[in-house]
Amino acid sequence: MQNTTIDGISRRHQDFLQVIQSYTQLTKPRIILLLLITTAGGMWIAAEGQVDPVLLLVTLLSGTFASASANTINCLYDRDIDYIMERTRHRPLPSGRINPRDALIFAIVLAVSAFTLLTVFANLLSACLAMSGIFVYVAVYTHWLKRHSTQIL
pLDDT per residue as tens digits for the range 41-75: 999 999 999 999 999 999 999 999 999 999 999 99
Is residue 11 scored above 70 in pLDDT? no
Neighbouring C-beta atoms of residue 34, cutoff 10 Å: 10
The pTM for the full model equals 0.86
CATH number of 21-148: 1.10.357
The average confidence (pLDDT) of the chain is: 90
Confidence of residue 1 (pLDDT cuts 50, 70, 90): very low
Residue 137 one-letter amino acid: Y
Helix (H) or strand (E) holding 9: strand 9-12
Is residue 39 scored above 80 in pLDDT? yes
Report d(CA 66, CA 122) in Å as an integer: 15
Report d(CA 34, CA 38) in Å as an integer: 7
pLDDT reported for residue 5: 44
Report d(CA 21, CA 73) in Å as an integer: 17
pLDDT reported for residue 150: 67
Report d(CA 29, CA 33) in Å as an integer: 6
**Residues for the chain: how many in total?**
153
Confidence of residue 10 (pLDDT cuts 50, 70, 90): very low
